[in-house]
A and B are shown apart, each in its own frame.
Chain A
Amino acid sequence: MAAPPAPATVETAPTASSGARRVLAGLALPISLAIVTALLLLWLAAQPLDSIERRQLDLGVLARRLVEHLELTLLSTAIVVALAVALGIALTRPRLRPLAPLGVAVANIGQAVPSIGLLVLIAIVAGIGPDKAILALVAYSFLPILRNTLVGLGGVDRSLIEAGRGMGMSVWQTLRRVELPLAVPVILAGVRTALAINVGTATLATFVDGGGLGDTITAGIRLGRETVLVAGAALTAVLALALDWAAGWIESALRPRGLDP
C-alpha cells in the first residue's frame, strides 16, 4: 500500500529577520527625532545670533525649559491617571454606577472650557506658579482617562466577573486580577490621549509663570526673534512625538498577553 504523501507543513512562525525588521520599524521614529533635533541644533549654531537670542538659545536654558515642560506633562498626567482611574473604578461599582453619567458630565466641563480660559480662571482663583499650571492640566485632561476607564471596565465580560466571584475571589481580587488587566488596553489609550493633550497644553503654562517650552515660544514672539520661536516650537513638537512614541511602546508592553494580538 502506497502511503499518501504527507501534507507539506507551512511554516508561519515569524522568522528572526522579520522580528528584527519590526524592531527597526519601531525605532524609526526616535531615530528620526534624534536626527531632526541634531539638525535643529546645527542650524541654530550656524545662525548669526544677537545677545538676546544667545541668552534664549543657550543650551542650558533650552534644556532647563525642556525638562520643566517634561515635568509639567508627566506630573500632571501621573496625577490625572491616579485620580481619573480611581474615580472610574468607583463609578463602575454597582452601587455608584448610577452616578457615572454625572462624573462624565463634570469631567466634560474641564475639557469644554478653552484651555487658556481654564488656566486664567485658576490663576485668578489660586494664583500663579507651576503647581497651578499642573492643576489646570489635570482638570483639562481628566475626561479622556475617566471615560476610557469607564468604557474599559464596563466592557469586561460580566461572565468573567461572575466566574471570579463564583470561585471565591473577593471584590478586590476580582478587580485587580480580572477587571483591571482586561481594561488596561482601553485605559492606556486614554492615558496616551491625555499625555498628548498635556504636552501641548503645557506650552500655555508660561502664562501663569509655570515654565516650560512655552517660555521660549512666547519670548520668541514677544522679542520678535524668529529663530527663538522656531527653536521653541520645534522642540515642543519633538517632545510631543517622542512622548507619544514612548506611550505607544508602554501601551503595547503592558497589554496583557492572551488578548487578541
Chain B
Amino acid sequence: MAETPISPAAPPPAAAIRLEAVTKRYRGQAEPAVDALTLEVRPRELLVMVGPSGCGKTTTLRLINRLLDADEGWITVDGEDTASLDPDALRTRIGYVIQQVGLFPHMTVAENVATVPRVLGWDRARIARRAEELLELLGLDPADFGDRFPRELSGGQAQRVGVARAMAADPPILLMDEPFGSLDPITRARLQDELLRIQGSLAKTILLVTHDIDEAIKLGDRIAIVDRGARALQVAAPERVLSDPADDYVREFVGSGAALRRLGLLRVRELEPGHWPALPRAAERHVVRDELIASGRPAALLLDEAGRPWRWVTARELERGGEPGTEPGVPASAELTPAATLHEALDAIVRGGVGAAAAVGDGGALHAIVDLEAIMAAADPSRPSQRTAGGEEAGLVRS
C-alpha cells in the first residue's frame, strides 16, 4: 500500500454480551437446546434473536443470566466471564423480561416494579420515585395503575409493567423474551414503537427474542436468525437479511414478502423524488395544462398560498373547466411525512388514486412527490442500500 496510512481504525467496541461456542443440553434430551452458539451483542445495540418455537431462544437468555449454566463454551458480560460472577449480583445488572410476563399476582404494580430496587436495598422514597418514573415512561399513569394488582390489568398493560420491572434498577443490559407476545397487532405495534422511542433515548444493550420476523425487522439494529439448537444462520442488519439472505433457510424464514418488508425499512426522505408538476393554484389554467402535458404525468398537484398540497388535477379536468363555484380535481392528502416508511407511502399512493402522493414537511408545505417508480427503484435489492447508519436521525432533524 503506497498511500499514507489513514488514521488507525477505531478498535472494535468491546462486546457487551459475548457467547463463545456455548452448548447446553437439558437432562434427558438427545439434542442440545443450544448448540455451540457464538454470538456477540454490541454495546447499546438492540439485537433481535429470531427463530422458530423450541429453537433454544429462551435457553440462550437463561444461559446469559445464569439461570442455567452452560455445559461448554463461555459467556462474558461487559468483558467479565459470567462463570466467575455471583449469579444473583449478575442478574441485578441485567434486566430480564420473561416470556410469560410473570408479574407477581400478590403484589401491586408499583411493588412489582420495585422488585429489583428492593433487592438492592434502595430506600423507600427512592423506590417509590423510581416506580412512578418508570410507569410514566411506559405510558401508564402511576396514580391510576400503581396500586392495581396484576389481575386488574389488560394483557398489554401487564407487558408494559413487565418491561418497567426489568428496567427498574436502570440495568445497562436488558434481556427480553417475547416481550410483546400474545397481543393484538395494534397494541403490539404501539408497544414496539414505545420500545424504539425508549431505546432512542436510553440506548441500552438489548437482546430481544421473538419468533416474529416482522418484529425483528422493525426493532432490530441487527437481527440474528437462528435455527434448532440456536444455531445462528445470519447475523446482520435487517436490511441485509432481507436483501441478501445467507442461505435458503433464511430466505424461507424471511418469507416471500421480503420485498414488501423492505418497504417498511426505507423512508420517504431517502427516495429520489418523482418529477411531477406542482404549481400554485393561482396559476393560469393553460400554464398548468402545458406543464402537465410536457411532464407526461397523468395529474398535476396544485398548491395553496402556503405551498401546501391542495388538489390533484388531470388534463381532462383542466380542459373541461369547472362549473363556477366548484374546484377542479380531487383533494390532495397531506398525511405523508419524510419520516414515513415506503410501506405507508405505497398505501397513500394506492388510496390517492392518481399514482402519486405528496409528502409534506414541517408546516405542511410540499416536501416531495412520491410515485411508484421511485418506490420500485428504492426497493430494488440490486441497488446499493441508501440507508446509512446514523444518518437517518440527522435527516429527520434537517428535513
Contact = CB atoms under 8 A, between A and B. Distances in A.
A and B associate in one complex? yes
A34 B150 CA distance: 42
Contact of B102 (A162, A177, A182, A259): A162
A51 interface: no
Most chain B beta-carbon contacts within 10 A, residue among A166, A178, A256: A166
Contacts of A103: none
22 contacts: A157-B100, A159-B99, A159-B100, A160-B102, A162-B98, A163-B96, A164-B115, A165-B67, A166-B62, A166-B65, A166-B91, A166-B96, A167-B96, A167-B115, A167-B116, A168-B92, A178-B104, A256-B106, A258-B105, A258-B106, A258-B108, A260-B151
A104 B89 CA distance: 36
B67 A168 contact: no
A261 B96 CA distance: 30
B253 interface: no
Contacts of B105: 160, 182, 258-259
Contacts, number: 69
B91 A173 contact: no
Nearest to B107: A258
10 closest Cβ pairs, A-B complex: A163-B102, A168-B92, A258-B149, A256-B106, A168-B91, A159-B100, A166-B96, A258-B106, A159-B102, A181-B106
Chain A, interface size category, equals 20 to 34
A165 B91 contact: yes
Interface string A138-164: 000000000000000000010110111
B165 A167 contact: yes
Interface of A: 157, 159-160, 162-170, 173, 177-178, 181-182, 256-260
A258 B150 contact: yes
B166 A259 contact: no
Interface in B74-106: 88-92, 95-96, 98-100, 102-106
Nearest to B91: A168
A167 B119 contact: yes
Contact of A169 (B88, B90, B100, B106): B88
A168 B116 contact: yes
Contact of A167 (B89, B92, B108, B150): B92
A162 B59 CA distance: 12
Interface of B: 62, 65, 67, 88-92, 95-96, 98-100, 102-108, 115-116, 119-120, 149-151, 165-166
A211 to B, nearest CB: 41
Contacts of A166: 62, 65, 67, 91, 96, 98
Which of A157, A160, A170, A256 has most B Cβ within 10 Å? A160
Contacts of A167: 91-92, 95-96, 115-116, 119, 165-166
Contacts of B98: 159, 162-163, 166
Contacts of B99: 159
Most buried by B among A163, A170, A257: A163
B116 A259 contact: no
Given A167-B115, A167-B119, 5 more contacts: A157-B102, A167-B166, A173-B119, A258-B151, A259-B105
B87 to A, nearest CB: 8
Nearest to B89: A168
B91 to A, nearest CB: 4
Contacts of A164: 104, 115
Contact of B106 (A159, A163, A168, A259): A259
Interface centre among A157, A162, A182, A259 (most CB of B within 10 A): A162
A203 to B, nearest CB: 38
Contacts of B62: 166
B27 to A, nearest CB: 12
Nearest to A184: B106
Contact of B119 (A169, A182, A258): A169
A108 to B, nearest CB: 30
